[in-house]
């Protein structure tokens, strides 16, 4: 009896369910037709991010000439340092020797330059005096030549003739004296021996006078024929040579000065080069005293767009004896607070984001927590193919002390929300020749193309801002 009642009850329930299903089937829209409704609609952008420092100081060296960056000692990865703390020390013995040699070279170039300037000054003053002396010498030679031609030459000729006449007279006097002696001795009582002696002496005097006269004649002829004309020629030649010397000094004065000045400029260039080279070495020496620019924590490696690279190869370099490369970021001093979040969005989501867009970050280390975030920067150039960098400010609370730069998180940003939005499946939209959107509205057994205005699109749905009403039916295929 009870079994029969149970079976009847079950049959009745199935019958009622069939009736309800039949009624719903009658009221449901045909397949491929969507009934327009108003409801909640939101657009969200999701991305993966990483907590990074808002303040950090990358450490790298930009040496001008010195490239041997051999590590002597280094702060440990994760060390807490204060501003001014020595982060890394380098071996400097070779560089110090190089600086000493450079200093000597610089002093040598300085002395060469000073000597060249002093020599130029001396040469310039000497050249001026030489020009004055050459001009004076030329003037004097001209005066001497004129005086010689006008006075000395004629007097020299006269003197030569006078000298010859004097010698001729001396011979005549000697011959006359000899003649008179012979006459006198013929008439006196002197002994023959005495006469011979006196006469011999007079005869010797005559012979000497005759020889002197012959020599004077030769001298007179040579002076008149050769000596005086040649002296005139020599004096004229000396004057010409003096004029040439004066002209040469005048012509070479500027050239010599320019050559010395060119030498000075070259030595100035050499000195400047040596000075710059020395200054670069000294600057590089100061550069090797690497100190923290701010308080923070030491990270080996760098943060790129807020993301820590954590380069493993730096561990081999950042040890005693290791070598750091110039212009390489090998260390970063990170301020633990405040933190920012760095991430990237797909290009399809970029248009939904604006500065100030807010949302939530879920730390990987604490999935149950929600941290308020706000977009503070959006890149307008790709950070990777199809990706654009985004930076967000994170509002951390007292219970977020565990968060550290380099930790990951998931970010959800609410870019649009409306409680009573009219939406249709995105597949229901069509575009005419003018590229304006329309939908196919079902009216009985026919359809009508109806222009619409669209809003946001998300999750396969598109908001219709005008053109449709609740209850309209649109085709979706």
Q: What is the CATH number of the domain that holds 409?
A: 2.40.30.170
Q: Does any domain span residue 252?
A: yes
**Pairing relation of β-strands 37-53 and 339-346?**
antiparallel
Q: 124-142 b/e with 16+ CB inside 10 Å = b?
A: eeebeeeeeebbebbeebb
Same domain assignment for residues 156 and 231: yes
pLDDT tens per residue across span 385-432: 999 999 999 999 989 999 999 899 999 999 888 999 999 999 999 999
Residue 281 lies in a domain: yes
> Residue 411 and residue 267: Cα distance in Å, rounded?
66
Q: Where are the beta strands (DSSP E) in 151-216?
A: none
Q: Are 296 and 338 in contact (CB under 8 A)?
A: no
Position 5 in a domain: no
Which residue segment(s) compose the domain that 247 sits in? 95-286
Domain CATH number, residue 331? 2.40.50.100
Q: What is the pLDDT of residue 166?
A: 87
Spatial CA neighbour of 429 closest among 407, 453, 406, 411: 453
Can you tell me the distance from the alpha carbon of 344 to that of 354, in angstroms, rounded to the nearest whole number?
14
Residues 324, 439, single domain; the answer is no
Q: Do 108 and 247 lie in a common domain?
A: yes
Has residue 21 been placed in a domain? no
In a domain, 4, yes or no: no
State pLDDT tens for residues 1-19. Answer: 334 444 444 444 444 444 4
Last residue of a domain, one of 286, 302, 326: 286
pLDDT by 10s per residue, the chain, length 477 = 334 444 444 444 444 444 444 444 445 556 789 999 999 999 999 999 999 999 999 999 999 999 999 999 999 999 999 999 999 999 999 999 999 999 999 999 999 999 999 999 998 898 888 888 888 888 888 888 888 788 877 888 888 888 888 888 888 888 888 888 778 777 665 557 777 788 788 888 888 888 888 888 888 888 888 888 888 888 888 888 888 888 888 888 888 888 999 999 999 999 999 999 999 999 999 999 899 999 999 999 998 877 788 777 888 899 999 999 999 999 999 999 999 999 999 998 998 899 999 999 999 999 999 999 999 999 989 989 999 999 999 999 989 999 999 899 999 999 888 999 999 999 999 999 999 999 999 988 899 999 999 998 888 899 999 999 999 999 988
Other C-beta atoms lying within 10 Å of the C-beta of residue 356? 8
| Residue that is last in its domain, among 336, 352, 372 | 336
365 and 468 housed in the same domain: yes
Same structural domain, 305 and 401 = no
Tell whether 246 and 130 lie within a shared domain: yes
Domain total for the chain? 3
Task: Judge whether 276 lies within some domain.
Answer: yes
Same domain, 109 and 256: yes
CB 239 within 8 A of CB 138: yes
Residues 6+ positions from 341 with CB-CB distance below 8 Å: 49, 50, 51, 52, 306, 361, 373, 391, 392, 393, 394, 409, 411
Spatial distance between the Cα atoms of 388 and 350, rounded to a whole number of angstroms? 7
Residue 14 forms part of a structural domain: no
Instruction: Check residue 187 and give its pLDDT.
Output: 65
């Amino acid at each position: 009896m009870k079994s029969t009642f149970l079976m009847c009850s079950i049959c009745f329930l199935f019958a009622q369910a069939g009736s309800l299903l039949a009624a719903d089937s009658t009221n449901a829209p045909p397949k491929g037709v969507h009934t327009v409704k108003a409801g909640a609609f939101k657009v969200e952008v999701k991305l993966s991010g990483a907590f990074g420092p808002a303040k950090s100081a990358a450490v790298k060296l930009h040496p001008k000439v010195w490239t041997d960056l051999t590590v002597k000692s280094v702060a440990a990865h994760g060390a807490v340092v204060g501003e001014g703390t020595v982060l890394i020390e380098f071996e400097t013995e070779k560089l110090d020797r190089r600086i000493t040699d450079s200093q000597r070279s610089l002093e040598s170039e300085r002395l060469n330059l000073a000597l060249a300037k002093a020599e130029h000054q001396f040469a310039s003053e000497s050249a001026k005096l030489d020009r004055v002396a050459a001009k004076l010498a030329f003037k004097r030679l001209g005066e001497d030549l004129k005086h010689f031609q006008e006075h000395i030459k004629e007097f020299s000729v006269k003197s030569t003739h006078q000298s010859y006449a004097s010698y001729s007279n001396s011979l005549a006097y000697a011959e006359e004296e000899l003649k008179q002696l012979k006459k006198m001795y013929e008439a006196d009582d002197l002994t023959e021996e005495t006469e011979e002696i006196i006469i011999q002496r007079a005869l010797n005097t005559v012979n000497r006078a005759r020889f002197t006269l012959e020599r004077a004649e030769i001298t007179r002829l040579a002076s008149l024929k050769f000596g005086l004309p040649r002296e005139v020629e020599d004096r004229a030649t000396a004057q010409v040579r003096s004029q040439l010397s004066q002209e040469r000094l005048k012509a070479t004065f500027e050239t010599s000065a320019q050559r010395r000045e060119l030498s000075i400029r070259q030595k100035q260039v050499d000195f400047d080069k040596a000075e710059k080279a020395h200054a670069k070495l000294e600057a590089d020496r100061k550069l090797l005293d690497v100190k923290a620019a701010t308080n923070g924590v030491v990270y080996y490696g760098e943060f790129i767009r807020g993301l820590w690279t954590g380069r493993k190869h730096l561990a081999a370099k950042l040890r005693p004896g290791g070598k750091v490369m110039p212009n390489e970021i090998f260390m970063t001093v990170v301020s633990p607070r405040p933190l920012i979040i760095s991430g990237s969005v797909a290009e399809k989501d970029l248009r939904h984001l604006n500065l100030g867009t807010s949302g939530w970050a879920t730390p990987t280390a604490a999935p149950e927590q929600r941290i308020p975030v706000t977009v503070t920067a959006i890149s307008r150039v790709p950070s990777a193919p199809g990706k654009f960098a985004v930076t967000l400010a994170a509002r951390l609370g007292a219970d977020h002390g565990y968060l550290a730069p380099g930790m990951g998180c998931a970010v959800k940003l609410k870019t649009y929300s409306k409680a009573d939005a009219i939406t249709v499946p995105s597949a229901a939209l069509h575009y005419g020749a003018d590229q304006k959107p329309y939908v196919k509205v079902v009216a009985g057994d026919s359809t009508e193309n109806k222009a619409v205005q669209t809003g946001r699109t998300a999750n396969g749905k598109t908001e219709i801002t005008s053109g449709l009403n609740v209850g309209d039916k649109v085709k979706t295929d």
